[in-house]
Amino acid sequence: MFIRSKDTANPVLLYVRGGPAFPNYFLIEKFKPGLEDYFTVCYWEQHGGGIISFYKSGTRDQCMIDFASTITELNIPVCFFSGKYDLTVNIDLSKAYHEKLQAPLKGFYTFNNSAHSPLFEEPRQVRQIIETDILNGTNTLAENDEVTSLKRGREK
């Protein structure tokens, strides 16, 4: 786990990524998508997918979390960034989990020119979502059935 920010007074972003095959943190260093301009970012790589690898030990499968069946409710805002051409995390499965998950604010964002890494493949759209929705506590750009604001409540 790494925590980085340009200003620690910025809101905290938990960046969950990785597993079971591919670390992500080195891409943050290489492409510098600018998350730390807006947030104090906690980069959390899942065991078996990040810097620590459990492939040669028998504990890798024990450390993996099936989020869809294990975590059904979060008391924090949640955003799903899904690439249209992602063959690793199927967009339909991601949408189904988004619909099932209970949270005070949810946003599902499809990136039409991306595969598995919209943050690096479409950084301008990511910044627009951050500036318009995430920092304002709303989901106006999301593909949700209802627009929600942490300040206003739900609207149809």
Q: How many whole angstroms separate alpha carbon 111 and alpha carbon 118? A: 6
- Please check whether residues 155 and 138 belong to one and the same domain: yes
CB 109 within 8 A of CB 132: no
Task: Give the residue from 47, 65, 83 where a domain finishes.
Answer: 65
Q: Is 114 exposed, middle or buried (0-12, 13-18, 19+ CB in 10 A)?
A: buried
Q: How far apart are CA 77 and CA 112, in angstroms?
A: 23
Pair 140, 116 in one domain: yes
- 44 has a pLDDT exceeding 50: yes
Is the overall model pTM greater than 0.85, yes or no? Answer: no
Residue 153 structural domain: 73-156
Residues 40 and 114 in one domain: no
Say if CB 83 and CB 114 are below 8 A apart.
Answer: yes
Let me know: does 116 contact 84? Beta carbons within 8 Å. Answer: no
pLDDT in tens, 8-41: 999 999 887 655 556 677 788 888 899 999 999 9
